[in-house]
Structure 1
Amino acid sequence: MMRYVRSVAVAVTGMLALSACGGSGGDDSGASSSGKPRIKLVINGGLGDKSFFDSAYAGLKRAEKELGYELKVVELGTDRTKWEPGFEDAASADDYDILAAGTFEVTDYIGELAPQFPDKKFWLFDAPVDYSGKNGGCSNKCENVYSVTFKQNEGGYLAGFLAQNLVAEKALKGTESLKKAGVMGGVKIPLIEDFVVGFKAGFQAAGGKNSDVLVQYVGGDKPFADPARGKEISTSMYGQGAALVWPVAGLSGLGTFESAVSAKRFTFGVDSDQYQTLTDEAQKNTVVTSILKNVGNALYKAAQDDQKDTLKYGAVATVGLAEDAVGFVDDEHFKQLVPEQIRTEVQEAADQVKSGSVTVPSAL
């Protein structure tokens, strides 16, 4: 029986979605009669977060459409007691060639299951499996596991740089007297802290003060799936003088958009383009831009490389701005809200990080 992951483990940046029970798509009948490579996406949560898992799904759907894969999705819901048996069942079924899963909450599951199925491939996104073979790591060093992690600190840097410019230049209507910005994390763990450390560095690089960055965490039993608590925290931050709040808390972040409407303030989206994924028009209009963690792009690239037999298993790939795995949305809505001079400066900041002339601090 596999050991459980850390008792305080939580899904990352957006990561727990609407509670879903059971699987969707495909069946357990065995090998595909089409002969197409089969990917099974196993989600410790559910689709519908309009952020992290939805991004992963979109990238794999693109691989299905453009590269000829077959995709099956298994949603395990937010009840953690169902995750371990859910992953065991998913790995045991002969209905996949590649099993994809994400967040650090599932690294132990993949690390223990992958050696049991050496003829299968495993993709782990946003956290690496322990390849060492020590301290409970993979017994075979997980030679059939590809891990990809992201430089979310670089995205955080751009968010902080943009936020300080917006408040300094009084660019956001109705917030001209305000000079603070907030970051709401799901829980205080290194991965979430990487967003926060990057944000503070960018805010300071643009001339802001550390004391003007408000940081708070959702916490509790469902830190990435508690919109009510997210709304409460965001409302408090707006009350303390934040012109905008950036939620890095998955489904809990939906509460931030509700709060921003009531407070007549602004937000940044996270992971996916949340101006596009939100359905409420008033909430959409609070989103200045979204800081992207392009999980879908990374998985689509993995699918491309796997077809070419160039994907490196048994190792971790780390991607960021230079690989277009992290970035920000620069669309017409962004142009309407943000003056050209600020847009230019943010792009210059991104270019400096890409070139290596600016190194962003990290919590990892």
Structure 2
Amino acid sequence: MKRTTIFTLLVLMGLLLLAACGGSAQPAAEKPAEGGSAGGGEPLKVVLLINGVLGDKSFFDSAQRGMDRAEKELGVKTKTIEAGLDETQWEAALIDAAENEDYDVFIVGTFQMAPYLEKVAPQHPDKKFIIFDAPVNYDQCQCGNVYSVLYKQNEGSYLAGVYAAAMTTYTDLEGINPDPIIGSVGGQEIPVILDFMVGYEQGAKDTNPDITVIRQFADSWNDPAKGKELTKAQYSQGADIVFQIAGGTGQGVFEAAAEDGHYAIGVDSDQALIVEDADPDQAARILTSMMKNVDNSLFRALKLHLEGTLPYGQIEALGIAEGGVGLARNKYYDQYTPDSIKQMIDEAEQKIIKGEIVVDTAFK
């Protein structure tokens, strides 16, 4: 998710704008047996290789939930490998898994893993690979055994921007001031994070053209102290709602919200429900989350694999219409959000689905 080639960005741009499938003309995979079986009565065996660690309460944890659901509902056998935070070890971890793990399907995610997968997948034509939140470059690798799934985070973030802009002047809610100022904290200034921010800012400006949106980057995915520092600085500038798009660093955004009595918007998962058992005070300060439904997309991919219809050798982009992204409408959202703003969100969502609102993208 943190580095990519210019070509890959251009491919992704077109996919996000057109919401279409693309890729090479390589033939689809041969249909595997159904019912959780890879053939011969053996269950389908799937490896999730994470270029990081679990526990981010966001992106990778969502992927793990997809694996857990697939194991429970589809009867597949799963294994998760945490490759750690040292990027220099990620390629070796993928090579080792593909060569030594007796599994049928290997799943990786983020832009950083795409170049490694382009090398490894062609060396194992008898195995299948899935990459989420990034595509491989099908024109430059023999990757007919790779399925790429992307998410239109700009669409979901548009809704987050509409929501934040509407809520930031709703002074009936304690901790909200009358100033039209909101913020965002990104993990790094890279295209996929900018895509969140572009959608967020467009949604905010469409709701209130006079709004101020503060944009900052932590330059880290695992530094809650930095996330807290940046968020407190934004609160001091008049913001009362901050959208965290920073992985584990975003934990600091929630800490700042709880300490300062303001609010945050989570990302990738329904983060309020994830943190509420450990810290109900933090959960109560997360108004909603822009969910990138990695869990649903991976479950869907494995289900389609078992049915023999997963389009290997191609890319799919999942937006609001496909259930790939959206806002969390949980008990906190219901408690804090007036009906007029809920209606505003519902209307914006439908307009995106119908094509009446076209959300800008950072992939240009």
**Shared fold, TM over 0.5:** yes
Answer yes or no: is the 8 Å Cα contact 2:266–2:288 preserved in 1: yes
Cα distance in 2 for partners of 1:33, 1:246 equals 48
| Distance (whole Å) between structure 2 residues aligned to residue 120 and residue 300 of structure 1 | 18
Matching residue's letter, 2:272: Y
Q: Which residue of 2 aligns with 1:87?
A: 94
- Partner in structure 1 of residue 265 of structure 2: 268
How far off its partner does 1:177 sit? 3.0
* 1:98 aligned residue: 105
Give the distance between the partners of 2:202 and 2:123, measured in 1 at CA: 43
Tell whether the 8 Å contact from 1:218 to 1:249 is kept in structure 2 after alignment: yes
Contact 2:46 2:105 in 1 (8 A): yes
Equivalent of residue 67 in structure 1, options 74, 77, 82: 74
Q: Against the structure 1 CA distance between its residues 34 and 93, is the aligned structure 2 distance closer, same or farther, given a 3 Å change threshold?
A: farther
Separation in structure 1 between the aligned mates of residue 126 and residue 60 of structure 2, nearest angstrom:
26
Corresponding position of 1:322: 321
Q: Is the 8 A contact 2:121 2:129 kept in 1?
A: yes
* Counterpart mapping for 1:1-364 below 5 A: 35-133=42-140, 138=141, 140=142, 142-209=143-210, 212-219=212-219, 223-278=220-275, 279-364=278-363
Task: Count residues in correspondence.
Answer: 327
CA distance in 1, matches of 2:175, 2:330: 22
SS at match of 2:362: coil
Distance 1:171 1:182 in 2: 20
Residue deviations 1:44-85, cap 9 Å, x none? 001111100111110121111111110000001111122121
Q: Residues 164 and 208 of structure 1 are in contact (CA less than 8 Å); yes or no, is this contact kept in structure 2?
A: no
Q: Residue 172 of structure 1 aligns to which amino acid in structure 2?
A: L
Give the Cα–Cα distance (whole angstroms) in 1 for the partners of residues 159 and 228 of structure 2: 24
SS of 2:137's partner is: coil
Provide Cα deviations, 1:183-232, integer angstroms capped at 9, x if missing partner.
1011111110000000111001112435x10000011xxx1111111111
Q: Provide the secondary structure at the position in 1 that maps to 2:240.
A: strand
* Aligned match of 2:35: none
Q: CA deviation at 1:332?
A: 2.3
**What amino acid sits opposite 1:197 in the alignment?**
V
CA distance in 2, matches of 1:172, 1:52: 29
Q: Once the 2 structures are TM-superposed, how far is the Cα of residue 34 of structure 1 from its aligned partner?
A: 6.5
Range with greater deviation from structure 2 (175-184 or 40-49): 175-184
Distance 1:354 1:85 in 2: 41
SS of the residue 2:179 aligns to: coil
Q: Distance in 2 between matches of 1:41 and 1:228?
A: 29
Cα distance in 2 for partners of 1:311, 1:32 equals 16
Distance 1:297 1:98 in 2: 17
Distance 1:63 1:102 in 2: 17
- Alpha-carbon shift at residue 175 of structure 1 (Å): 1.7
Specify the code of the residue in structure 1 equivalent to 2:137. Answer: D
| Cα-to-partner distance string for 1:275-304 (whole Å, 9 max, x where unaligned) | 111121111110001110000111111011
Greater length-normalized contact order (CA 8 Å, ≥ 6 residues apart)? 2
SS in 1 for 2:199: helix
Identity of aligned residues (%): 42
Question: Where in structure 1 are there 5+ consecutive unaligned residues?
Answer: 8-30
Contact 2:169 2:176 in 1 (8 A): no
In 1, Cα distance between equivalents of 2:270 and 2:200: 18
- Inter-partner Cα distance in structure 2 for 1:307 and 1:166: 44
AA aligned opposite 1:61: D
1:32/1:38 contact within 8 Å kept: no
Structure 1 residue 95, shift from structure 2 partner = 1.7
- Read off the aligned partner of 1:165 and give its amino acid letter: A
RMSD: 1.7
Instruction: State the alpha-carbon separation in 2 of the partners of residues 226 and 262 from structure 1.
Output: 17
CA displacement at 1:33 relative to structure 2: 9.8
SS, match of residue 203 in structure 2: helix
Look up the SS of the partner of 1:242 in the other structure: coil
TM-score (norm: length of structure 2)? 0.87
AA in 2 matched with 1:264: G
- What is the TM-score normalised by the length of structure 1? 0.87
1:32, 1:95 within 8 Å by CA — same for their partners in 2?
no
Residue of structure 2 in register with 1:26 after alignment: none
